[in-house]
């Protein structure tokens, strides 16, 4: 049973345009969400997070939106740059207790110059 779903395995976007990566979750107990970026031959690196008390968090070119009623979050990258080409993982967990981060399968973003 996959609790965090990234239904698009890949996404191609032109440089300068907006990239939108989507993530759905099924566990209503999740209240903390993170996005990680992974380049080949490197470990995932933290990108941005959002708590369930918010519906938007922005950090430079990266914005995460959370729709709790739909159990859906999205990562917007504006403008997209070739260096953003990577695999993006959505992750979620319960903020209380020491429950582990649950990851989606990832979306491979290709930004075309």
Partner 1 sequence: KAGVTQTPRYLIKTRGQQVTLSCSPISGHRSVSWYQQTPGQGLQFLFEYFSETQRNKGNFPGRFSGRQFSNSRSEMNVSTLELGDSALYLCASSPDGQGTGELFFGEGSRLTVL
Q: Is 81 in the site for partner 1 (CB under 8 A)?
A: no
Task: Say if residues 80 and 14 touch (Cβ distance below 8 Å).
Answer: yes
- Span near partner 1 by CB under 8 A; candidates 15-23, 50-58, 74-82, 88-96: 88-96
Q: Is 29 in the site for partner 1 (CB under 8 A)?
A: no
How many chain residues are in contact with partner 1, going by CB under 8 A?
27
Q: Is 46 in the site for partner 1 (CB under 8 A)?
A: yes
Q: Is 49 in the site for partner 1 (CB under 8 A)?
A: yes
Residues that bind partner 1 (CB under 8 A): 6, 9, 34, 36, 41-46, 49, 89, 91, 93-106
């Amino acid at each position: 049973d996959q609790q965090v779903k990234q239904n698009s395995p890949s996404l191609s976007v032109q440089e300068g345009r907006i990239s939108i990566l989507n993530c759905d979750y099924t566990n209503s107990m999740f209240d903390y969400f993170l996005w990680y970026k992974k380049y080949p031959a490197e470990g995932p690196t933290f990108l941005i997070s959002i708590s369930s008390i918010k519906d938007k968090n922005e950090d430079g070119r990266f914005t995460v939106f959370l729709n709790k009623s739909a159990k859906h979050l999205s990562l917007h990258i504006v403008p997209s740059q070739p260096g953003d080409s990577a695999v993006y993982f959505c992750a979620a967990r319960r903020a209380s207790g020491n429950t582990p981060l649950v990851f989606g399968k990832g979306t491979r973003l290709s930004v075309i110059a």
